[in-house]
């Protein structure tokens, strides 16, 4: 039997989802730098917050995780973590970037879920 070829829009969306996910630790690291004026706490926040985000993602969000959340909890958890990233960008004074990231992320999630995949 023939191979099933995914729709090009779906494949592009998967790539965008990957990039949006990669932006999470970067956003939280950048936010960590701007949370305080003391050098030690800047470094500590810029390292610890993204590491915590990556560990949470690895444990509960990653498709290969044995403890991955099931739907609809996974959807709500993704909405929560991406919303935190948008809020973090607003807090550090980057409202335009926050709006762009929020719109791209929301659009991407809507399209991915409309295709019915749970490996987002």
pLDDT exceeds cutoff 90 at 93: yes
- What would the pLDDT profile of 36-81 be if each residue is shown by its tens digit? 889 999 999 999 999 999 999 999 998 899 999 998 999 999 999 9
Q: How far is CA 56 from the centre of its chain?
A: 11
- What would the pLDDT profile of 1-48 be if each residue is shown by its tens digit? 556 567 888 888 999 999 999 999 999 999 999 988 899 999 999 999
Q: What average pLDDT does this structure show over 109-119?
A: 77
Q: What is the pLDDT of residue 9?
A: 82
pLDDT exceeds cutoff 80 at 112: yes
**C-alpha R_g of the chain:** 16
**Which pTM was predicted?**
0.85
Among candidate residues 21, 4, 38, 11, the one with its CA nearest the CA of residue 101:
21
Q: What is the pLDDT of residue 32?
A: 92
CB neighbour list of residue 109: distance below 8 Å, 6 or more residues apart: 17, 75, 78, 79, 82, 120
């Amino acid at each position: 039997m023939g191979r099933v070829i995914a729709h090009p829009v779906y494949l592009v969306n998967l790539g965008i989802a990957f990039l949006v996910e990669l932006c999470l630790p970067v956003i939280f690291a950048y936010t960590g730098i701007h949370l305080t004026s003391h050098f030690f706490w800047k470094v500590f926040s810029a390292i610890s917050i993204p590491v915590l985000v990556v560990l949470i993602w690895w444990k509960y969000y990653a498709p290969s995780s044995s403890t991955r959340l099931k739907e609809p909890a996974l959807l709500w958890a993704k909405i929560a973590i991406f919303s935190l990233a948008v809020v973090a960008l607003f807090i550090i004074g980057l409202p335009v970037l926050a709006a762009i990231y929020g719109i791209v992320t929301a659009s991407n999630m809507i399209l991915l879920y409309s295709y019915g995949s749970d490996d987002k």
